[in-house]
A = this chain, B = another copy of it.
Amino acid sequence: MKLRESAKGRICLRELGEDPLVGQLVARLRTRFDVIAGPGDDCAVVAAPEKGRLLLLKTDCVVEGVHFRPNEKPSAIGWKAMARPLSDFAAMSGLPQFALVTLVVPPEREVQWTKGIYGGLERVANRFEVAIVGGETSASKGPAVVSVSVAGSVEKQRWVSRRGGKKGDALFVTGRLGGSIRRKHLNFLPRIEEARWLTEHFRIHAMMDLSDGLGADLPRLAAASGLGFEIDQAALPRNRGCTIAQAINDGEDYELLFALSPNDAPKLEKMWRKNFLRLPLTRIGSFILPSAFRIPHSFRGYVHFQ
């Protein structure tokens, strides 16, 4: 039996075909009470958000050779592919609920590899009570692509955009920055719980998740509110062994960056320490008027297509 399973593991996608593949991939997926029709029909059919809530939609993808190395563990690739769009839900204080998965893979890739990808996708999805309700698979001659789209919702009063920052706002980041290439980019936890807690207790003016590095993302957050910023670079929370430049420019931190009134900052810092014992929260600077602002020389961030 063991032997047979192992032999089965070496079947490639071309041999198995799409319908049996999708059947095997979705057979074990967990569902949710509000899923009416999941994988296997033309669209997924799910309950609409309750009254007083808004619908949130996000799509993201990981590409072989860009977001992960070809020899990477498939479960880690799946984890990253699902965790990235969920990190965007955290940035809006949203609750993710439903995910659609698209796999583009060469036909000669092993079925077992594809199952490993799904294993990673499911681990993140299950942790945040997200149901994978549909998916597509397609052959390709090139590098594998895993694209994940997520739908969810947020209370009308609680969603946080990038645009609400005010002059003088205190700027905070969760966790530690830099050095994500040493595997953190493959196993990070989207800060959904933390973001939900923040909007339950505080008026957050603007928020985003750090995917391209503080050096690229903070200028975006400031620009969205028509502001500039000043930060204390020496105060940046760094991962072990990281320089300040790495904390600013490495990217793929998937931590929250947010702005709130400086009057709320002391209360936030005190309450945070009680609630999130193991995750630091650091005040890194302030929003300032754009007229007083010059972008720091050390700010670069990850630039796509380069």
Contacts and interface: CB of A to CB of B under 8 A. Distances in A.
Interface string A31-73: 0000011001111111111110111111111010111000000
Contact of A136 (B54, B59, B208): B59
The copy count of this chain in the complex is 2
A284 interface: no
B142 A140 contact: yes
A16 interface: yes
B305 A139 contact: yes
Given A17-B303, A142-B142, A48 B58 contact: no
A43 B151 CA distance: 9
A231 interface: no
Interface in A90-113: 91-92, 94, 98, 100-102, 104, 107
A147 interface: yes
B102 A133 contact: no
Contacts of A287: none
Contacts of A101: 59
14 contacts: A18-B303, A36-B54, A37-B161, A42-B91, A43-B88, A47-B55, A49-B55, A55-B55, A59-B59, A59-B136, A60-B102, A60-B136, A61-B136, A67-B138
A14 interface: yes
Closest 3 CB pairs of A and B: A142-B142, A18-B304, A149-B149
Nearest to A160: B42
A13 interface: yes
A304 B138 contact: yes
A170 interface: no
A42 B53 CA distance: 17
Given A19-B220, A149-B149, A151-B151, 9 more contacts: A42-B208, A43-B56, A49-B55, A60-B102, A66-B139, A67-B138, A107-B306, A140-B145, A147-B147
